[in-house]
Amino acid sequence: MMNNQLSTKFSLRGFTEDPVTEVTLFLMFLFTYLVTILGNLGMIMLIRASPQLHSPMYYFLGNLAFVDFCSSTVITPKMLVDFISEKKGITYAGCVAQVFIFDLLGITECFLLAVMAYDRYVAVCHPLVYPLVMSPKHCFQLVIGSYLVGLTNGMGQTIGMSSLSFCGSSIIDLFFCDISALISLSTSDTTLSHIILRTSAALFGVSSSLVVLVSYVAIISAILSISSAEGKCKAFSTCTSHLTTVSIFYGASLFMYLKPSSDSSREENEWAVVLYTVVTPMLNPLIYSLRNKEVKEALRRLTKIK
């Protein structure tokens, strides 16, 4: 069975078979990937080089940028190669690697966003104890915990995939290996894979989203209780960038995984996946650089632009 799995090759359906459209999409996604790489690596370097950004919020943001850089690199280069290749295929080993790394990074990002929401909650609702609660040691533990939860999810999905068998060359109706698509292609019993997928969604996805939701309910309640309009604007401005990032990430992921396939066409599902896997990692550093005064000021100081 293992030998049959290792010899399996998957065909990726991709977006189109029209050569002109493929060239256009190749250039568009290449530009997106370059912006993603420059934006996220630039954000990491800016945070490391700017003392005024050495705070818990930007420590978490640097890790978020690293995760976005990695998750985009797992998906986009292979997609770009397929645009200019006659055969759009991937080996079983390559598929396993994509599943493991993508699911590891996806859940890690969920928990990093939850940690950042908790950070904003403490900053707005309990500012006096903020330095104590969000100490360097505590921040490090929260980040390591996020990666460990992501690692647990990636290993679980990979174990679930190892229990699946496939016949010959299977066609994946996406441009990368997604565990839910692989489960639907399997010719063996998929009970274990379904259990792991649903358990991880319930434990990791729901728990992280609840932390975000509860944190922002408390934040909004605290902001509304502030008497002055200036105080409300100042308090809310510290959360707008993160709230925008959370809305895009969870909106795209919910559309991707929860919308019934019968309610949408293949093209709609494809572009929802593109938004989740390709566009979101590009937008996060842009959101924080364009909407955050501290980041813009740090960039001015670093480049000596008056």
Dump pLDDT digits (tens) for 147-188: 999 999 999 888 888 877 777 667 877 788 888 878 888 777
- Give the pLDDT confidence score for residue 17 in this predicted structure: 73
At residue 304, what is the residue type? K
Farthest CA pair distance, the chain? 69
Average pLDDT over residues 137-151: 95
61 to each of 52, 139, 251, 302, how far by Cα in Å?
14, 12, 20, 18
Taking the alpha carbons at both ends of the chain, their separation in whole angstroms is 65
**Residue 266, SS3 per DSSP:** helix
Confidence of residue 41 (pLDDT cuts 50, 70, 90): very high
What pLDDT band is residue 27 in, cutting at 50, 70 and 90? very high
For the chain, the average pLDDT equals 82
As a whole number, mean pLDDT of residues 41-53 equals 90
Q: How confident is the model at residue 63 (pLDDT cuts 50, 70, 90)?
A: very high
Dihedral over Cα of 164, 169, 174, 175: its sign: positive
Task: Summarize the confidence of residues 2-31 as an average pLDDT.
Answer: 76
Domains of the chain: 2-303 (1.20.1070.10)
Confidence check: pLDDT of 7 > 70: no
Residue 24 has pLDDT above 50, yes or no: yes
Q: How far apart are CA 182 and CA 161, in angstroms?
A: 8
